[in-house]
Structure 1
Amino acid sequence: MKRALVIQLTRFGDLVQTKRLVLTLQRRGFTVHLCIDRSLEGLARIIYPYCEIHSLIAHGSGIEGQGADTVLPVNYEIFRQLAEIDFKEVYNLNFSPMNYALSSMFDPAKVKGHKRVNGQVMKAPWFELGFRLATERRNNINLVDYWAALSPDMIPAAEVNPAASPGGGGIGVVLAGRESRRSLPYEVLAPLVMAARSTNKNKNIFLLGSKAERDAGRKLMAKFPASVAESTTNLAGETDWKGLADAVCGLDLLITPDTGTMHLGAHLGVPVLGFFLSSAWCSETGPYGKGHTILQADMDCSPCMEAGPCYNKIKCLDPFADPLTVRYVATRKSEHLSKGISVLESDCDFLGTGFVLKAGNDPTGERRQRLRKFIGCHLGLLDIGEHGPFPDLAEKFYKDKDWITP
């Protein structure tokens, strides 16, 4: 039996976005083991029922209220279990201290991604290139494809998630994401939700989020007319992982910023209407698969780095508050779109999931397509004789050592 270990110790959305890599490894004949943060164990068992799950405490949230006297024994036991398994390949997807500690348990020749070799921190050549590609964030590739490309013989992108299709279950609204500037205030979100509802056959609305968004849900409902509020259910803080999956499955539409629930919706084949602003850029972290729509704020300063202050008074929020954008959501006519927003729809190609302009502007679209072909040739997915050469891109993204080392 061939076994592969995937170490994914980050958050909700990242766990879902590991799906193409996991499915690829399974198709290659591996039994896949997933090492994750304990807080995500329930979700991992829903999304990856055929994987072996190993959950440790990576973020201090796996066992509420417990300190190092609990964390250390739990993690030691997981380390011990993993050390006893003969893994043929190990995929270490992140570069936290815990990730490096785990990867150091295995022969470096087996470890793909981030690892230590003789005490030196190293990245796989593909990750080295990926970090350079990320300097062009508007043209970057989807994170799902970035991780999956660590393995040879990636499964086709169209086989990862179902093509999005309305399920008849009404509209889900994700109230907020983990990064506050990526989310729409409830007074901006309310008219957009009502515009989407106006064209949907099932008028029921379900508000989704954590306990921290419960009050935001109440405030959003207060902005609705009484008839709309009566058909709205505030589920924020009311669902466990299974309850969240059940609430999302079968919806007609999921309205959301860049969130883990968005990726869960794509996993389930629910059409996403995503509002991307601030540091969120759809080519990097948009919903995976075919049939999703993103309203992308497009400013001269976007995408930004949310860790730093905004010196522009979050001007990328303004187009979402424009009545024209509300009208566009209701009509989907390009003449009703506010300046500062581009509308892009997801599709699958030779490389993975990309986004195609439907309304607004996409000044880097041509370069993004050229860059995708460059990456496709680099990964052996395309014939460089047919699609290349790429002297300008090679000059920018390749380094001397790429030519002189394997």
Structure 2
Amino acid sequence: MKVCVVNLLRLGDLLQSLPLIEELSKRERVTFFIPKLNVLSFLKEIVDCEIVELDIDGLLECSKTLNFDRFSYLLGKDRASTFDYAINLNSFELSFYISSFFGKKVLGVTYDDRKIIKDKQFSLLFNSADNRKKAPINISQLYLSYLENIENIPVAKNSRSIKNIVINVNTGSSIRNFPNSFYINLIENLKRDYNLFLVGTDIDKGNEIYSPFTEFENIENLTGKQSLKELYQLLVSSDLLISPDTATIHMAARTEIKILGLYNISAYYFQTAPFSDAIIYIPNRGCYPCNEDFQPCGNRECMWDYSGFKVAEIVRKFDTIPGSERLIRQRRFSDGSLVFEGGNSEEKSLNNLLVSKFLRDKSGSDQW
């Protein structure tokens, strides 16, 4: 069976797709369609499938001017309806049209206007107009459940003790960036027991965080100094990643490194948690994630709920600490689902409901 995956978003979203790509590639012929982000060579090194870059600007212009001949030309007329399944990971119109062009059958997020699909069959996981809080499961998990219904056996992760810790100090979203004081306090509480590597793209932020610790040989500031390949190799050789919701955390999910995710503001762990075993640390506030429109309040008070000392304690008890209101232990199962220990029980039951319903409907209608 030929399957294509369409993901036209940023680097972090592409990396979050990789566990799905990897699982599908074990049994299907997979093509991964992505935007031009100068990451093609890196992705080809870590995932075994055909990867094709698309001219998103050109395709957007064609869709606006209704130039369907040019649209087909940019996508490749010889690829029209050549895939048994097109898996669409985005909720915007262009991605929907592209998936419809490639696939005889499309799975995933669908766009409201269905005129384009005509007689194509669709599986509607959630509508793009829905409140995202009502879609508490990473889409890729449902695809794995749909394509392979196997027993729920936890995926074994690396059990080696923690010695080398990678700390990601910034994200591409400024509102999700933790204050420097948090990282300084975290490093202060870890510096005598672990080797620490600071990573991220914000060189100035990294230098400011690192400045109190320049005399420590076990602390290295790598912010702004690594290629994607070098960062990936560092994650492979390290024991724990501490990171907010950003590309690095999804790259880590492709390895056996342990993950401690710091989720805040509009980073909703049910949607963007790494597709891996992990511990997710969330703020103890009723407003998390940000209000229904995902508009931050402006003062980001929840960012100050995070304690470097508390995170350091979690690190020391990583393998034994239980789930709680602010600490979610996330388990990935081999059917593609995630189970969250701790957190909101209603969200957990909805997670399990969606997975079981998708499996139950597998042999029936694809529309639900």
Fold match (TM-score > 0.5): yes
Which whole-Å deviations, capped at 9, do the CAs of 1:202-226 have from their partners, x for residues lacking one? x2x222122xx011110010133x4
Name which of 290, 293, 298 aligns with 1:304.
Answer: 290
Task: Name the structure 2 match of 1:207.
Answer: 198
Give 1:374 shift: 1.9
Task: Name the structure 2 match of 1:346.
Answer: 330
Name which of 102, 105, 114 aligns with 1:110.
Answer: 105
Name which of 151, 154, 175 aligns with 1:181.
Answer: 175
Q: Is 1:87 equivalent to 2:66 in the alignment?
A: no
- Coordinate RMSD, CA, aligned: 4.0
Counterpart contact for 1:173–1:206, Cα < 8 Å:
yes
In the comparison of the two structures, how many residue pairs are matched?
348
Take 1:174 and 1:284, find their aligned partners in 2: how far apart are those partners? 20
Take 1:189 and 1:341, find their aligned partners in 2: how far apart are those partners? 23
Give 1:378 shift: 1.0
Take 2:289 and 2:264, find their aligned partners in 1: how far apart are those partners? 7
Take 1:233 and 1:57, find their aligned partners in 2: how far apart are those partners? 38
Task: Name the structure 2 match of 1:221.
Answer: 210
Task: Name the structure 2 match of 1:260.
Answer: 247
In structure 1, what residue type is equivalent to 2:247? G
Task: Name the structure 1 match of 2:61.
Answer: none
Counterpart contact for 1:37–1:59, Cα < 8 Å:
no
Name which of 30, 33, 46 aligns with 1:32.
Answer: 30
Q: Is 1:319 equivalent to 2:310 in the alignment?
A: no
In structure 2, what residue type is equivalent to 1:377? S
Which whole-Å deviations, capped at 9, do the CAs of 1:128-167 have from their partners, x for residues lacking one? 3797584346xx2234314545x432567768x7614448
Take 1:75 and 1:162, find their aligned partners in 2: how far apart are those partners? 44
Take 2:84 and 2:140, find their aligned partners in 1: how far apart are those partners? 22
Which has a greater percent of helix? Answer: 1
Task: Name the structure 2 match of 1:386.
Answer: none
Give 1:371 shift: 1.8
Unmatched runs of 5 consecutive residues or more in structure 2: 59-69
- Equivalent runs, 1:379-390 vs 2, <5 Å: 379-380=358-359
Which whole-Å deviations, capped at 9, do the CAs of 1:320-370 have from their partners, x for residues lacking one? 14x76256346549xx9xxx971222213466123213xxxx3x22x2332
In structure 2, what residue type is equivalent to 1:302? Y
- Equivalent runs, 1:338-377 vs 2, <5 Å: 342-349=326-333, 352-357=337-342, 362=343, 364-365=344-345, 367-377=346-356
Task: Name the structure 2 match of 1:45.
Answer: 44
Counterpart contact for 1:42–1:241, Cα < 8 Å:
no
Take 1:297 and 1:91, find their aligned partners in 2: how far apart are those partners? 33
In structure 2, what residue type is equivalent to 1:153? E
Task: Name the structure 2 match of 1:15.
Answer: 14
Q: Determine helix, strand or coil for the equivalent of 1:245.
A: helix
- Equivalent runs, 1:160-175 vs 2, <5 Å: 163-166=157-160, 170-175=164-169
Counterpart contact for 2:190–2:312, Cα < 8 Å:
no
Give 1:174 shift: 0.8
Q: Determine helix, strand or coil for the equivalent of 2:340.
A: strand
Distance 1:194 1:309, change over 3 A: same
In structure 1, what residue type is equivalent to 2:355? G
Take 2:121 and 2:310, find their aligned partners in 1: how far apart are those partners? 43
Task: Name the structure 1 match of 2:226.
Answer: 239
Take 1:163 and 1:44, find their aligned partners in 2: how far apart are those partners? 23
Counterpart contact for 1:176–1:257, Cα < 8 Å:
yes
Q: TM-score, normalised by structure 2?
A: 0.78
Distance 1:252 1:310, change over 3 A: same
Q: Determine helix, strand or coil for the equivalent of 1:46.
A: helix
In structure 2, what residue type is equivalent to 1:256? S
Take 1:325 and 1:274, find their aligned partners in 2: how far apart are those partners? 13
- Equivalent runs, 1:273-284 vs 2, <5 Å: 273-284=260-271
Take 1:189 and 1:35, find their aligned partners in 2: how far apart are those partners? 36
Distance 1:346 1:128, change over 3 A: closer
In structure 2, what residue type is equivalent to 1:22? I
Counterpart contact for 1:272–1:293, Cα < 8 Å:
yes
Give 1:4 shift: 1.6
Take 1:304 and 1:10, find their aligned partners in 2: how far apart are those partners? 22
Give 1:302 shift: 0.8
Q: TM-score, normalised by structure 1?
A: 0.72
Counterpart contact for 2:280–2:329, Cα < 8 Å:
yes
Q: Is 1:152 equivalent to 2:160 in the alignment?
A: no
